[in-house]
Amino acid sequence: MSRVRALGIRVTATAALLGLLASPAWALFGDDEARRAILELRGRVELQRQQIEAQRQQIEEQQRALQAAQQRLQELQQALDPARRGLLEQTNQIEGLRRELAQLRGQQEQLAFQLAELQRQQRDALAALDERLRAQEPIKVSLEGQEFTARPEEKAAFEAALAALRGSDFKRAADLYADFLHRYPNSGYRPLALYWRGNALYAARDYKPAIEAYHQLLEAYPRHPRAPEAMLAVASCQVELKDLKAARATWQALIQRYPDSEAAAAARERLARLR
């Protein structure tokens, strides 16, 4: 628009000059005045032309600067677009890595939980195994001057029978001792099991089986601390069975075999009462 306007100004000025030149000089001024007027008009026209040319050059420079700026802008946009795409790709990659890291952390936490659970189960299994092994390990027993080893379940079975005897459940105690002797024929508890079984049967007034239990003790363990008492108990069973002859013989054998025992002293007293 500025270039068209400048061109119009130039055309108007030129037309005015030509109109003046076409008119006779004498019609307006004298020769000198006309000449001065023409020169002055020419100067004004030239000045306007120069101004128009300067404006035109300025406009062209501005247009070139604008075109250069537009070109630079396009170049920057073209250069920026790959950078934007690269940045977007990097952002997407970072976000993907974040999601992957969160997933890995979740898996790590799950694996840590599973590992802790497996370790707990392993500890429980080892503890249970250790307890079972301890339950099977022989333990040292010291009872009535006798020392021996026994398995835990063996000790528990003997103590269960003894508890029944102490609770005056004589029939059950006798049965439990019989079962114990059958299950543990070589047990260190065997002499006492025979003795206490005889006592349980005696208390239940089952005298003949009681005598049998006492005899088994005396035959297998004649030096056991309970042997003199077992012989004294045999004589008591024979008294209950009204077999005083057998009882007398048992007391005499007791005094002869274990003369310094308390049972032998009791046998002497009972023999004295029979005289």
pLDDT digits (tens, 9 = 90+) for 35-50: 788 888 888 888 888 8
d(C-alpha 110, C-alpha 29), whole Å:
113
pLDDT at 9: 44
The answer to whether residues 82 and 154 belong to one domain is no
Select from 40, 67, 86 the last residue of a domain: 86
Least confident of 80-89, 197-206, 221-230: 80-89
176 in the same domain as 82: no
Do the beta carbons of residue 249 and residue 238 sit within 8 Å?
no
Structural domain includes residue 110? no
Residue 70 lies in a domain: yes
Structurally, how many domains does the chain consist of?
2
pLDDT (mean) for 16-20 = 45
Q: Is the pLDDT of residue 25 over 90?
A: no
Same domain, yes or no: 79 and 157 = no
Show the CA angle centred on residue 77, arms to residues 74 and 82, nearest 5°. 135
Q: Where is average pLDDT lowest: 101-110, 199-208, 240-249?
A: 101-110
Determine what percent of the chain falls in helix, strand and coil, rounding each to the nearest 5: 85, 5, 15
69 and 173 share one domain: no
The model's confidence at residue 203, banded by pLDDT at 50, 70 and 90, is very high
- The yes-or-no verdict on residue 204 having pLDDT over 60 is yes
Where a domain ends, among 60, 86, 112?
86
Judge if 60 and 155 occupy the same domain.
no
Residue 138 has pLDDT above 90, yes or no: no
Identity (one letter) of the amino acid at 178? A
End position of a domain, from candidates 61, 86, 111: 86
Asked whether the predicted pLDDT for residue 15 surpasses 50, the reply is no
Q: Are 157 and 166 in contact (CB under 8 A)?
A: no
Identify whether 106 is part of a domain: no
Do 71 and 157 share a domain, yes or no? Answer: no
Q: What is the pLDDT of residues 177-190, one digit of tens each?
A: 999 999 999 999 99
156 and 270 assigned to the same domain: yes
**What SS3 state is found at 145?**
coil
Answer yes or no: do 174 and 260 share one domain: yes
Q: Which one-letter DSSP state was computed for residue 137?
A: S
Residue 137 lies in a domain: no
By CB atoms closer than 10 A (0-12, 13-18, 19+), residue 271 is middle
* Closest by Cα among 64, 61, 56, 63 to 9: 56
pLDDT value at residue 132: 67
Q: For the chain, what's the residue count?
A: 275
Residue 229's closest CA among 213, 245, 246, 208? 213
CATH number at residue 254: 1.25.40.10
Which domain does 179 fall in, by range? Answer: 150-274
Q: Are residues 270 and 154 in the same domain?
A: yes
**156 burial type by CB count under 10 A (0-12 exposed, 13-18 middle, 19+ buried):** exposed
CA distance 45 to 117: 104
Element (H, E) at 244: helix 244-257
Q: Are 66 and 175 part of one and the same domain? A: no
Cα–Cα distances in Å, from 146 out to 19, 113, 140, 160, 269?
159, 53, 11, 20, 29
> From CA 233, how far away is CA 239, in angstroms rounded?
10
| Residues 79 and 170 reside in one and the same domain | no
**At 8, which helix (H) or strand (E)?**
helix 2-22
> Is 190 a member of any domain?
yes
Q: What are phi and psi of 114, to 5 degrees?
A: -65, -40
Q: Classify residue 122: in a domain, yes or no.
A: no
What pLDDT does residue 151 have? 93
- Alpha-carbon distance of 37 to 43, in angstroms, equals 10
Assigned domain for 259 exists: yes
Tell me which range, 15-29, 137-151, 167-181, is most confidently predicted by mean pLDDT. Answer: 167-181
Q: Considering the domain boundaries, does residue 167 fall inside one?
A: yes
Q: What are the strands, taking DSSP E only, across 93-215?
A: 139-143, 146-150
Mean pLDDT of 53-59: 84
- pLDDT above 90: percentage of residues in the chain: 45
What is the biggest distance separating any 2 CA atoms in the chain, rounded to whole angstroms?
205
